[in-house]
Structure 1
Amino acid sequence: MSKGHVVALALLLLTGACSAGGDSQSPESASEQASETPVGPTVGPASSRVLPGDITTLQVVQGASIGDLVADREAYTLYRYEKDVTSPPRSSCNDPECTLVWPPLLAPVGQFDLKGVDKALVGTMKRDDGTTQVTLAGRPLYRYVDDEQAGDAKGNGLDGQWFAVAPSGEKARG
């Protein structure tokens, strides 16, 4: 198991342990609160009401050797999986062995901040676990656990199935 995989597993376990005794709010009341939360980041006491990922950012960045590609709000490369279905969109990466390595890009409230990405190409789909995943040109989007910093594209071409995604939804050049 690579260093990135171990870190991802540790973070998953730590996140679960930290949230186990916390908020007793039901999923319905949490989503109601999220929908009442002002759009955009807030500072101060209200910031605890803003859930990470409420507004999903997609931006175009320049990949070192692969040209323009789509990244998330932290400028981490986003990927597409060749085994996914596009019409209707459906993820083939659902088991923990896959999602720990290729975390899906989620959009809890389906709101987007798009920078250089065509709004007509952006959508969402329901995953098997009930969460909402972002799609681009009908392809579900993912991050790669071994991308250690913004701009990394270590997952591009991995297993001949995973590719950094271009703004068109196609494979990034490279």
Structure 2
Amino acid sequence: MKHRTTAAAAVAAALMTAAATACSGGSAGSTAASPAAAGTRTPEQAAQTSSATVSTAKAGKLGTILVDSKGMTLYLFQADKNGKPTCNGSCAKAWPPLVVTGKAGGAGGVQSAKLSTAKRSDGSTQVVYNGHPLYHFAGDSKAGNTNGQGLDNFGAKWYVLGTNGKQITTKVSQPSTPGGGGY
């Protein structure tokens, strides 16, 4: 149970940093110096390989969801339209994109025909599944975490995806944060 409390603290820290940055009035591309929460990755550290593999894993009552080659949960951002990624700057720090320098590949129950890529504003190439750019969540510290599920962050909600490429909106219980969690 301690690991869920630690994960909750990391999620709370990431969300408070993201909320403070989003509310600061700066532009989406502004950079704010903030300490990285334990277990978080910068967009540059996100799965940058010549070929990213999207796979599947069972995630409790969410069912079978998309994950990266390390088993880390992948999410869609409802603000993204027509396969174009819109999460940049401070958003991409909280929600690192799954990027490749080559071709995206599928394994497990992933339907290869649904895999594609899209150019990001920084010139990198992001993996897209069924028209949804794929992201990690900085608050997920290990494979199997789904701490980003259903969060309303950076102007829209974030959801895991099923192998059919559609969002799964099932709610998961998130552990409460120590100290009452009042923001």
Q: Same fold (TM over 0.5)?
A: yes
Q: 1:3 aligns with which of 10, 18, 36?
A: 10
Alpha-carbon deviations, 1:54-102, whole Å to 9, x = none? 221111111112111000011011000000012xx2111012x101100
Cα 1:128/1:148, change in 2 over 3 Å: same
Pairing 1:55–2:55 present:
no
**Structure 1 residue 53: deviation in Å?**
1.7
Q: 1:139 to 1:8 in 2, by over 3 A?
A: farther
Count of aligned residue pairs for this structure pair: 133
Alpha-carbon distance in structure 2 between the residues aligned to 1:9 and 1:151: 14
Aligned pair partner of 1:167 in 163, 169, 183: 163
The answer for the alignment partner of 1:136 in structure 2 is 129
Instruction: Sort the Cα spacing of 1:98 and 1:114 in 2 relative to 1 into closer, same or farther, 3 A.
Output: same
Q: Which runs of 5+ in 1 are unaligned?
A: 16-50
TM-score, normalised via structure 1 length: 0.69
Q: Is the 8 A contact 1:8 1:100 kept in 2?
A: no
CA positional deviation for 1:10:
8.0
Identical aligned residues as a percent: 29
Describe the SS at the equivalent of 1:161: strand
What letter matches 1:53 in structure 2?
T
- What pairs up with 1:1-174 in 2 under 5 angstroms? 3=10, 5=14, 6-7=36-37, 12=42, 52-86=48-82, 89-95=83-89, 97-159=90-152, 161-172=157-168, 174=170
Shift in Å, 1:167: 1.0
Alignment root-mean-square deviation, CA: 2.3
Greater Rg, structure 1 or structure 2?
1
Give TM-score scaled by structure 2 length.
0.66
SS in 1 for 2:138: coil
CA deviations on 1:121-142 (whole Å, 9 max, x unpaired) are: 0000000110000000011000
Write the distance in 1 (CA, Å) between the matches of 2:97 and 2:163.
18
Deviation at 1:171, TM superposition (A): 1.0
Query: Is there any run of 5+ residues in structure 2 with no aligned partner, and where?
Result: 1-8, 15-35, 171-183
Q: Which amino acid aligns with 2:10?
A: K
Q: Structure 1: which amino acid aligns with 2:37? A: V
Q: State the secondary structure of the residue aligned to 1:7.
A: coil
Following the alignment from structure 2 to structure 1, what is the Cα–Cα distance between the partners of residues 37 and 52?
A: 24
Q: In 1, Cα distance between the equivalents of 2:59 and 2:130? A: 20
